[in-house]
Chain A
Amino acid sequence: MLLSHYARESNVGAIRGGRTVLIPGAFAYHRPADLAEAVALLGRFDSDARLIAGGHSLIPMMKLRLALPGHLIDLAGIAELKGARLEGSEIVIGAMTTQHEIIGDDLLAQRVPILRETAELIADPQVRYVGTIGGNVANGDPGNDMPALMMALSATYVLRGAGGERRVAARGYYRSTYETAAEPDEVLAAIRIPAPPRGHGWAYEKLKRKVGDYATAAAAAILTVSGGRIATCAIGLTNVAGTPLLAADAAAAVVGTALDKPALARAAGAATAIAQPAADGRGSAEYRAKMAGVMTARALARAFARARS
């Protein structure tokens, strides 16, 4: 949902007779039956078309008329975009899988449990019934929670366009706010996650003002432990910059350690150092950057406690 960035400006909208009325602009509605048709429609209508997944980022934008597509391409009718499965050593999740479905999925609970913990912290029950993981990762909104996870998990995004299929690493996908590596005619169709090893440690730690809010700061930690020491570690940060961040230095600071206090402090400091958050109702930039460090430390501690050597 974009609304975190604009909610206080809710007088932006169509003005009728002096009152604000939140009615989207007019558009033609398309509901393709398969991915090829969706790609063809995107190509045909180009920048005048927007894809709609769950619509819980896009429709609020359209109601404020910050998005005015002449054509809406609804992905809801495309069966191949749903569901999660194991393919060899990779978990493959269809982009139209809702947060609710992710929370209830047994395969994901067993193999990538950080997904459920994160999904449960997104918005509220109604939004989770409709909002999709594809919508959460695809559009480059820095407030969304899943991108930081995908970076920490070394996930790749499967993009389908007129030229066929290509895969882009999540770590290379986010260029700047709302700017991604996806071409205008591409649909993010699926997410591929290398299954973390059994016994890995994981945690998503999200600081927010109230239930349902975007993160003041949040950190995703994925690690493995061997002989009581951290063997591998990856950390992703949410909403403390114009894009999700991979906190490589913070992760390196704890590898080889038993996560003693100095290591945790170094990791927190490294996370704070790369954070460049906006100052807003959630706090000053300095505060939010500091909280990026605090969330990193908390996520690491919980992940470490969960890990089995």
Chain B
Amino acid sequence: MSLTDVGMTVNGKAMSAAVEPRTLLIHYLRENLGLTGAHIGCDTSHCGACTVDIDGRSVKSCTMFAVQAEGENVLTIEGMAGADGKLHVLQEAFREMHGLQCGYCTPGMIMRAHRLLHENPNPTESEIRIGISGNLCRCTGYQNIVSAIQYAAAKMAGLEVKEAAE
């Protein structure tokens, strides 16, 4: 099948690559753009490890063709830290609260948490758990992921944060 140029803004930069229409967004990001932070964790659109943020929506990039996202604004985990390398508050939170073990689900978790906290800056624990129900983790049992999101929410609200117990 013939290739077509597909362009979109990724982490604030205009990007473009020649792909087939059937190229999934996850493959466009990972293989064409070299942004391997988004992960492929399942075959079935369940796990959410591929989650990115597109124009204010959390999207499973394995379930969208790159052509569908043409001209849109995509945010990936690579775009979360500051230009000087300073961690985004969510990244700091996942570190502080031990919200990861193997790290495979983590980029998807952070991208989803980022949008969740925009939807609801002060979520209850239940709202966090429902809010990340599209993201699966095989390592942590979710408790520290929830704590990390609570930490980030508190910090973003200017509240005092509780550090993780040793």
Question: Which residues of A line the B interface, CB within 8 A?
Answer: 1, 3, 7, 10, 13, 20, 22-29, 31, 52, 55-56, 59-60, 62-64, 72, 74, 76, 100, 123-127, 129-130, 211-212
Which of A22, A27, A55 has a CB less than 8 Å from the CB of B43? A22
Most chain A beta-carbon neighbours within 10 Å: one of B60, B63, B68: B63
Q: Is the CB of A59 within 8 A of B63?
A: yes
Q: Is the CB of B57 within 8 A of A63?
A: no
B106 an interface residue at 8 Å Cβ cutoff? no
Rounded to whole angstroms, the CA-CA distance of A56 and B45 in the bound complex is 8
Kindly list 15 other residue pairs between chains A and B, CB separation below 8 angstroms, not including A22-B43, A125-B116: A3-B45, A24-B22, A27-B1, A29-B21, A52-B68, A59-B24, A60-B44, A63-B24, A124-B48, A125-B112, A126-B59, A126-B60, A126-B134, A129-B57, A130-B57
Closest to B48 in A: A126
How many residues of chain B are within 8 Å of chain A by beta carbon? Answer: 29
Given contacts A126-B51, A126-B59, contact A29 B65 (CB under 8 A): yes
Q: Is the CB of A211 within 8 A of B130?
A: yes
Which of B43, B60, B134 has a CB less than 8 Å from the CB of A13? B43
Rounded to whole angstroms, the CA-CA distance of A52 and B67 in the bound complex is 12
Residues of A within 8 A of B63 (CB): 55-56, 59-60, 127, 130
Residues of A within 8 A of B44 (CB): 3, 7, 10, 60
Instruction: Tally inter-chain residue pairs, CB-CB below 8 A.
Output: 91
Given contacts A25-B22, A29-B65, A29-B67, contact A125 B133 (CB under 8 A): yes
Residues of A within 8 A of B115 (CB): 125
Contact with A along B47-87 (1 / 0, CB 8 A): 01001000001111001110110000000000000000000
Closest to A6 in B: B44
Say how far A93's CB is from chain B's closest CB, in angstroms: 19
B123 an interface residue at 8 Å Cβ cutoff? no
Rounded to whole angstroms, the CA-CA distance of A31 and B4 in the bound complex is 14
Closest to A31 in B: B67
Given contacts A126-B51, A127-B134, contact A59 B64 (CB under 8 A): yes
B20 an interface residue at 8 Å Cβ cutoff? yes
Residues of A within 8 A of B155 (CB): none
Residues of A within 8 A of B41 (CB): none
Q: Is the CB of B59 within 8 A of A129?
A: yes
Residues of B within 8 A of A212 (CB): 46, 133-134
Say how far A1's CB is from chain B's closest CB, in angstroms: 7
Residues of A within 8 A of B65 (CB): 29, 55, 59, 72
